[in-house]
Structure 1
Amino acid sequence: MSPDDLAYLGAVEALDHFRRRSLSPVELMRAMLARAEATEPVVNALPLRYPEQAMQAAREAEARWMRGEARPLEGLPVAIKDSTDLAGQPTSLGSLTMPDRPATRTAVVNARVLAAGGIPHARSATPEFSCAYYTHSRRWGVTRNPWRPETAPGGSSGGAAAALAAGSTTLATGSDIAGSIREPAARCGVVGYKPPYGRVPQDAPFNLDTYCHAGPMARSVADAMLMQNVLAGPDASDPACLPESEPLAEAPGDLTGWRIAWSPDLGAFRTDPEVVGTARRALAVFADLGAEIEEVRLPWTPAMIAAGWAHLRMGFGQWIARQAKTQGALMTGYALRFAEAARRAGASDHLASLAAAAEMHAALAPVMARCRLLVAPATACAAIPADYAPERHALAIEGRAIGEFDTAMTLPFNMLSRHPVLSVPAGRTAAGSPVGLQLVGRLLADGDVFRAGLAYEAAVGGWYRRAADRPRIPAQDREQATPPTPADTEVTP
């Protein structure tokens, strides 16, 4: 197996090789670190890497396999998002405002990765405070999409998605408050899962915000399912957790008799025709698998989506505004804009967000009563600039201007947070930008989205298996690839 083939080896396949002694965790980690060394000057997805610790952990994993003591993720490289704590390592949240000192505790999600034998060989880049659908910061520079380096990998789990697409990690953790797992997964052509709220424990205080979720990111549905089984389950530290549920398991691929609802715009978004066309071609695979497709017209509106953003400004935004009040001179322009919007938010916005979510659920409930899934694009447009700044870049669909928060179609399912959502690759545009498809399940029906996702994955033959199916990342010097973040970051309060 070539070094690049090793770097793109799936988690489930790697575990099978470990079990059969045809590959060791040490060999896999060595290939992964070499791949990161080769791709990072362009992609800049993993700003903090721990090669020595990772190799030592890989040797320990190899010994556990030899002793027959392997755990579910034993020896697999996992990129940990730079927004959650790992004891002994600093967490920057992509911000110059955060102290560069080691964390004294490990977040629950990360503790579960470690307990399962996953090896955190790197931290993945995030926009400052995870508040953008692109990934650049004054702390780490510009993270780029491996498929088209001039474009963004999405956000806020942009580094995680880019690293997966570049072959510099096997698995990655993600978090999703407005689509931050699904949006970058779609833009980088990988798989991302937003579990139902409460399925995966989170840390205070945002564990109590129903919009907030943590979940797995991978290059395959099977790998995402493997990791989700490790992350899921209640924890005494999180009172919002759902009760224990059965682990997800592979199911037959036949979708005969399934009714699947399809919405190209969720009623509330302007969507690029090429994105919709690519998504429709992927949808045809589900029809070939025996499902009946029903196009639906949801009466959701832009005002409802705006109410969801108001909710985020009332909570998450206030946290950013607090940082801006004392350290705004160090912050990026997009974080300061978010903070300023939060300062203008009022108590009535919270009530409006609850009313909007209730109205959206009332419209969606009858659709989901007759359909096992709702399918929609994950992004409204195919690509945005890697170094996006509103004063330098205009975003438009068919000549009509859109805002940066109009580029993703993910927020509705943070508002309706008990619906599980799996983002899977749908194909690529003529320019080469990946497009993602959201598979939205019924309330708490995790198994349905994975069953459909596995069937779809098997039908299309998976992704990244052949060299021809992987991004060709050009060789560049780091100075050329990751320039200082643009003038947008110099905005002051």
Structure 2
Amino acid sequence: MAFLDAHAARERFRSGDLTPSALLEAVLSRIDAVNGDGDRPGVNAFTEILADSARAAARAADAAYAAARPGDAPLPPLLGIPVATKEKHGIAGLTLEQGLAACRGDIASAHHPVVERVLAAGGVIHGRTTSPEFSCATTTHSPMWGVTRNPWNLDATPGGSSGGAGAALAAGMAVLATASDIAGSTRIPAAFTGTVGYKAPYGRIPGAPPLSADWYRGDGPMGRTVADTALLAEVMGGRHPVDHASWGPQANGSLTSALQGAAGAQGLRVGLSLTLGDYPVAASIRERTLHVARALEAAGAEIVEVSLPWTTDRLRRTAFAHFGHILGPAMARLTAGTEAELADYTRRFIADAARAASQESLPDSLALDAAVQSELAAAMAGVDVLLTPTQAVEMLDADGAYLDGIDVRDADGSTRHLEHYWEAHLTSPFNIANRVPVLSVPSGLSSVGVPIGVQVVGHPFDEATVFRAGSAITDLVAVPPFPVEIGAGRAASPRSR
């Protein structure tokens, strides 16, 4: 029952076959069984379990379903569904620490906009999920919250920064989850955990100021299915008075109505890029991405190979030039005086960002962004969506820092050293070009038993086509069931230097 999807759960709630309280208890029991605690190692996906308030909300949902009669107004779209929220999505009256010693004991004065909307839609928030410090890494561990592990292989990370969200979904500890993304922080954990993650166009899902004004970032939904992820995206999205960059309607059904299953592949023109220029990509990841392309083609899509003039080095320099003028200084100011207590990856991020800002002015950074955006537009001319891997590597160590970069084995067996581990993921270009919607969906398992994902990239603001293609992929491509027995796999990760 803990692995039930949101749509199936709502149908059972309406039929009286299942109550929200019963589903919540199944999820809480699963957390008790596999999340671990100080004496029992486990996935460690949560910073806090909100069992009492969740049970009260579930009982209220029980009563609402029991009282519903034909002809009544529709019940809220998430009524009774257990939702895990990323800790950075503040809940009024609870701590908001973001894994930082500098923020220890801070209390949120108001709900984050996405929390507000989840609650208004009837969602039952039962837990808050882990992230690395200030969400600045693609693994999920911190001195404050410890190491979050991948349910498929406890030696592996679930990715980051929304690693707790991905791990909770994959392990049956949540039905839906909130996430965020500034360089892949929703899509990377989705790929590594076999779940679905959505990076909306900038502003489509409201954030919390002041960093909501950073045009690389965005909050978003994760789920175990494309349909569930679309449902949560519709709840979360739309103009909000707190975020002046937010736009569009809320909960208008435009995403869920775009889901056609396998039939949605018919007539699609799909651009295919296995490397986005010169990314080294593991053989198993390339093969699974090609498998997705072949499945779409067999179902009536046209596959068009596209090329991009990008290098991982250039994309890293472009992204860090941006971070050097916004996120890096914000982190340095927030953590001043507590540097000795920071994780090593956080100190490295702040230093890298400062160095990049000294080399590129903000206007220079905008020019770098514009070049990437123009090249992406040219590559996607004449296609409806772009298909590309989400990650380049099969796994990363759960507690890895990769301060000296990462060695990535390419499909031909050669090994290439990348200066920064962020280059081991094919995600940041679509934060540089952050008006494009991107959906990461599962494509299978790698040779080390950790999931693989593909990204479906749309034209600016064209969300419906991305969900149409993602729905087709999940109907056409078989992937293994989620691990009831966690951590079965054991394998060596890419070697760090």
TM-score (norm 1): 0.91
Q: What is the distance in 1 between the residues matched to 2:259 and 2:343? A: 46
Q: What is the distance in 1 between the residues matched to 2:478 and 2:282? A: 27
Question: How far apart are residue 391 of structure 1 and its match?
Answer: 6.2
Counterpart position of 1:486: none
Q: What is the distance in 1 between the residues matched to 2:478 and 2:11? A: 19
Counterpart position of 2:13: 18
Q: In the superposition, relative to structure 1, how do residues 391 and 417 fare at CA in structure 2: closer, same or farther (>3 Å)?
A: closer
Between 1:200-209 and 1:246-255, the stretch displaced more is 246-255
Question: How far apart are residue 309 of structure 1 and its match?
Answer: 2.1
Q: What is the distance in 1 between the residues matched to 2:479 and 2:233? A: 19
Show CA shifts across 1:331-374 (max 9, x none).
11111111222333237343333222211222222332300000
Between 1:135-144 and 1:279-288, the stretch displaced more is 279-288
Q: What is the distance in 2 between the residues matched to 1:109 and 1:461? A: 32
Q: In the superposition, relative to structure 1, how do residues 422 and 394 fare at CA in structure 2: closer, same or farther (>3 Å)?
A: closer
Counterpart position of 2:269: 259
Q: In the superposition, relative to structure 1, how do residues 260 and 337 fare at CA in structure 2: closer, same or farther (>3 Å)?
A: same
Counterpart position of 1:54: 54
> 8 Å contact 2:444–2:479 — kept in the other structure?
no
Counterpart position of 1:488: none
Question: How far apart are residue 393 of structure 1 and its match?
Answer: 8.8
1:47 aligns to what SS in structure 2?
strand
> 8 Å contact 2:80–2:122 — kept in the other structure?
yes
Q: What is the distance in 1 between the residues matched to 2:478 and 2:315? A: 38
Show CA shifts across 1:145-168 (max 9, x none).
111110111000000001100110
Q: How does 1:426-441 map to 2 (within 5 A)?
A: 426-441=443-458
Q: How does 1:15-414 map to 2 (within 5 A)?
A: 15-41=10-36, 42-68=42-68, 70-244=75-249, 246-247=252-253, 248=255, 249-252=257-260, 253-301=263-311, 302-344=313-355, 345-346=357-358, 348-390=360-402, 395-397=407-409, 398-402=414-418, 403-414=420-431
1:395 aligns to what SS in structure 2?
strand
Q: What is the distance in 1 between the residues matched to 2:368 and 2:194? A: 31
Counterpart position of 1:418: 435
Aligned residue type for 2:390: A
Matched positions, count: 466
> 8 Å contact 1:170–1:218 — kept in the other structure?
yes
Q: In the superposition, relative to structure 1, how do residues 353 and 274 fare at CA in structure 2: closer, same or farther (>3 Å)?
A: farther
Between 1:451-460 and 1:214-223, the stretch displaced more is 451-460
Between 1:385-394 and 1:429-438, the stretch displaced more is 385-394
Task: State, as a whole percentage, how many aligned pairs show the same letter.
Answer: 39
Q: In the superposition, relative to structure 1, how do residues 328 and 305 fare at CA in structure 2: closer, same or farther (>3 Å)?
A: closer
| Equivalent of 2:465 in 448, 456, 461 | 448
Q: What is the distance in 2 between the residues matched to 1:145 and 1:462? A: 17
Q: What is the distance in 1 between the residues matched to 2:280 and 2:361? A: 24
Question: How far apart are residue 394 of structure 1 and its match?
Answer: 5.2
Aligned residue type for 1:130: S
1:123 aligns to what SS in structure 2?
strand
Counterpart position of 2:495: none
Between 1:7-16 and 1:363-372, the stretch displaced more is 363-372
Q: What is the distance in 2 between the residues matched to 1:139 and 1:240? A: 32
Question: How far apart are residue 392 of structure 1 and its match?
Answer: 9.1
Counterpart position of 2:491: none
> 8 Å contact 1:61–1:70 — kept in the other structure?
no
Counterpart position of 1:478: none
1:346 aligns to what SS in structure 2?
helix
**Root-mean-square deviation (CA), in Å?**
1.8
2:443 aligns to what SS in structure 1?
strand
> 8 Å contact 1:196–1:419 — kept in the other structure?
yes
Q: In the superposition, relative to structure 1, how do residues 52 and 189 fare at CA in structure 2: closer, same or farther (>3 Å)?
A: same
1:320 aligns to what SS in structure 2?
helix
Question: How far apart are residue 257 of structure 1 and its match?
Answer: 2.0
Between 1:389-398 and 1:430-439, the stretch displaced more is 389-398
Q: What is the distance in 1 between the residues matched to 2:191 and 2:380? A: 23
Show CA shifts across 1:277-309 (max 9, x none).
121112222112211111111112231342112
Q: What is the distance in 1 between the residues matched to 2:325 and 2:359? A: 8
Aligned residue type for 1:46: F
Question: How far apart are residue 415 of structure 1 and its match?
Answer: 0.6
Question: How far apart are residue 32 of structure 1 and its match?
Answer: 0.1
Q: What is the distance in 2 between the residues matched to 1:310 and 1:411? A: 13
Q: In the superposition, relative to structure 1, how do residues 378 and 471 fare at CA in structure 2: closer, same or farther (>3 Å)?
A: farther
Q: In the superposition, relative to structure 1, how do residues 254 and 83 fare at CA in structure 2: closer, same or farther (>3 Å)?
A: closer
> 8 Å contact 1:219–1:463 — kept in the other structure?
no
Q: What is the distance in 1 between the residues matched to 2:487 and 2:423? A: 30
> 8 Å contact 2:264–2:468 — kept in the other structure?
no
Q: What is the distance in 1 between the residues matched to 2:182 and 2:405? A: 25
Q: In the superposition, relative to structure 1, how do residues 152 and 27 fare at CA in structure 2: closer, same or farther (>3 Å)?
A: same
Q: In the superposition, relative to structure 1, how do residues 391 and 445 fare at CA in structure 2: closer, same or farther (>3 Å)?
A: closer
TM-score (norm 2): 0.90
